Amino acid sequence: MKKLLVWTLVIIAIIMSACEEEYETSVSRTQMKLTFYRRTDTSTVNMGVSDTLNIYALKTDSVLGSAKDSTTSAYSLPLSYTADSTVFILRKGAKNFVSDTLVVKYNAWAHFLSMDQGSVMYYNISNATITHHFISYMNIISKNVREVETENLRLYYVAK
């Protein structure tokens, strides 16, 4: 009798596992995209900073973005879903570095996708400010931060 019960449970387990559907989540964590533009006297070009650049979030020691040359011009950065603002430190240069502080204020809310994928955080940027040590100015291109990769902030620096 015990063998019959064990075999019945094994068969039920096999049938149930065969009926489960695998769902693949295509949504990643929503991130803000910022892009660097170099300004000269005659033009503005989408180009990375021509020196080492590291991007940190305040109160962390993790590098969120890093480049050692001018080939990387766009960075995707996470926003905090537990606060209404995130502070980033942009550090240019390896030895004699200069830093700018970027403060992004926003409204955040959870957006339900489906039972299988759950929800994702959406953000609406209300304000962004930056110090001007190597960044000359900044524009908010799109206030809406969604899972679609859209440019949100454009940072301009002067080529030297």
Domain that holds residue 56: 28-158
Segment 12-22, tens digit of pLDDT: 666 665 554 44
In a domain, 9, yes or no: no
In a domain, 4, yes or no: no
In the three-class reduction of DSSP (H, G, I as helix; E, B as strand; rest coil), residue 11 is classed as helix
Q: How confident is the model at residue 11 (pLDDT cuts 50, 70, 90)?
A: low
In a domain, 49, yes or no: yes
In a domain, 62, yes or no: yes
In a domain, 18, yes or no: no
Segment 84-97, tens digit of pLDDT: 999 999 988 777 78
Per DSSP, the chain holds a count of helices (H) and strands (E) of 1, 11
Question: Dihedral of CA 141/54/147/111: which sign?
Answer: negative
Mean pLDDT for 148-152 is 88
Lowest-pLDDT choice from 23-32, 43-52, 63-72, 97-106: 23-32
- β-strands 151-158, 31-39 pairing: parallel
Q: How many domains does the chain have?
A: 1
Per-residue confidence (pLDDT) for residue 63, from 0 to 100 = 75
In a domain, 1, yes or no: no
Segment 104-145, tens digit of pLDDT: 999 999 998 888 888 899 999 999 999 999 899 999 999 999
By CB atoms closer than 10 A (0-12, 13-18, 19+), residue 79 is buried
